[in-house]
């Protein structure tokens, strides 16, 4: 596990406006990040990135202890929200660079909607775009966002989720299940 954090910087705030969407992912308004995550959440647009190294291992991050929702949980490489007026391509590249110091080509795979409550402190209610990427660049994690990070083999992540599901964010588990079930051929290619 690597936990040397090489740079710091605040990259988002609770006041940041998120894009509210309907079930068809059509923009219907905006609300602050804090409001979107209150109660059972308000549906908003989001993305999740799964970035692999040249050995076919997936980059996982442990969420910072300062996160309101699921602090200290292991999650996919990077996840966040596009900003007003920002394309999903711009948003994914921006956040990957801000959070992990990485750049790489990202391939969109699918969208899905989920809602998950966290210990009465708020919830996620997202229409989430899922992307895959591959890089050989070194990780330079932002300590405000990431407590630790590590690369894990596909089969090893399957085993960890099966035996210690409580250590992982709900969206990672949902997305990984879909990736393994519906995109096994893509994972095989990226892991080759």
Q: What's the rounded Cα separation, in Å, for the pair 7 and 10?
A: 10
> For 1-39, what is each residue's pLDDT tens digit?
444 344 445 567 778 899 999 999 999 999 999 999 999
Give the tens place of pLDDT for each residue, 116-162. 999 999 999 999 999 999 999 999 999 989 999 999 999 999 999 99
Q: What local confidence, expressed as pLDDT, does residue 11 receive? A: 67
For residue 62, what is the enclosing H or E element? Answer: strand 58-63
pTM of the model: 0.93
What is the DSSP secondary-structure string of 98-160?
HHHS----EEEEEEEEEEEE-TTS-EEEEEEEEEEEE--SPP--BTTTEEEEEEE-HHHHHHH
Can you list the domains of the chain with their CATH numbers?
Answer: 17-190 (3.90.79.10)
Which residues have a catalytic role annotated? Answer: 79, 126
């Amino acid at each position: 596990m690597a936990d040397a954090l090489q740079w710091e910087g605040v990259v988002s705030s609770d006041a940041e406006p998120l894009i509210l969407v309907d079930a068809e992912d059509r923009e219907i308004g905006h609300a602050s990040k804090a409001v979107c995550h209150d109660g059972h959440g308000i549906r908003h647009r989001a993305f999740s990135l799964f970035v692999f190294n040249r050995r076919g291992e997936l980059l996982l991050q442990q969420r910072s202890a300062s996160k309101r929702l699921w602090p200290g949980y292991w999650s996919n490489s990077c996840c966040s929200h596009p900003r007003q007026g920002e394309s999903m391509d711009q948003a994914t590249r921006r956040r990957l660079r801000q959070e992990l110091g990485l750049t790489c080509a990202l391939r969109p795979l699918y969208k899905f909607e989920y809602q998950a409550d966290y210990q009465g402190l708020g919830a996620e209610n997202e229409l989430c775009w899922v992307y895959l990427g591959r890089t050989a660049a070194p990780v330079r994690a932002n300590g405000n966002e990431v407590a630790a990070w590590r690369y894990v083999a596909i089969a090893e992540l399957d085993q960890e989720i099966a035996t210690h599901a409580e250590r992982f964010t709900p969206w990672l588990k949902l997305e990984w299940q879909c990736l393994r079930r519906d995109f096994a051929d893509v994972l095989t290619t990226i892991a080759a």
